[in-house]
Amino acid sequence: MTTDLTQVDPAKLRIELYPTEVLRMKANPVAVDTGVDESLLAVAHRMVDLMRGAQGIGLAAPQVGLPVRLFVAHVPTDPEAEPDPSGLPISTDEPQAFFNPVITEYSKDLEPYDEGCLSLPGITGEVNRPSTVTMRAIDIEGNEVELKATGLLARCWQHEIDHLDGVLILDKMTQMSRLKNRARIKSMEKAAKR
């Protein structure tokens, strides 16, 4: 089943906060059989604006209330960072949008990193993820692409695709990080019930 975004008003999209139900839903594929239309482009551009406004590096459609398989990402180049010895990208020059993304290959290693999430403001925790991934998706021009990345860019893609499957960093944090954030999580859950 695919989802049609032609009825969505991008101007009304806002970042949803935990524990909003849509954050736990498995997202539906986006209809891109005939290409990426104006409604999809408008939603992707609005998501980029929201991501930038919140000073994030990625944003998935469920985070703006849309249960569809779309995410945007922009991991800016750190002028002080060394290029990865593998030659794989670790950053992007411009924001990118991906429709119906799937990770097709993961490296076997796991690297810890302190992750945050725009839907969980004030919460960060250590998450172990493969350092390198290969992703297949439809890009903003409607082309099927297969891309490989490492470092923060690979982590960003994994984080956003988790959102498309209803998975949050809360589910992947180390035990110590969960304990550290327990009070803040409870506070967000309590605030949502009011």
Q: What is the pLDDT of residue 194?
A: 76
Question: CA distances (Å), 171 to each of 24, 82, 103, 128, 177, in order?
Answer: 11, 31, 19, 11, 11
> Which pair of structure tokens corresponds to residue 16?
């949803």
- CA 37 – CA 109 distance, rounded (Å): 38
DSSP of 153-182: HHHHHHHHHHHHTT--HHHHB-HHHHHHHH
pLDDT digits over 15-49, tens only? 999 999 999 999 999 987 767 788 899 999 999 99
pTM of the model: 0.94
Q: What is the pLDDT of residue 10?
A: 93
Low-confidence ranges of the chain (pLDDT < 50): none
Q: Tell me which residues are annotated as active site.
A: 160
Q: What is the pLDDT of residue 85?
A: 83
Give which of 58, 162, 61, 46 is closest to 118, Cα–Cα: 58
Q: What is the pLDDT of residue 84?
A: 80
Q: What is the pLDDT of residue 55?
A: 96
Please report, for the chain, the start and end positions of each structural domain, with discontinuous segments joined by +. Answer: 10-193
Q: What is the pLDDT of residue 34?
A: 67
Q: Tell me the CATH class for 10-193.
A: alpha beta
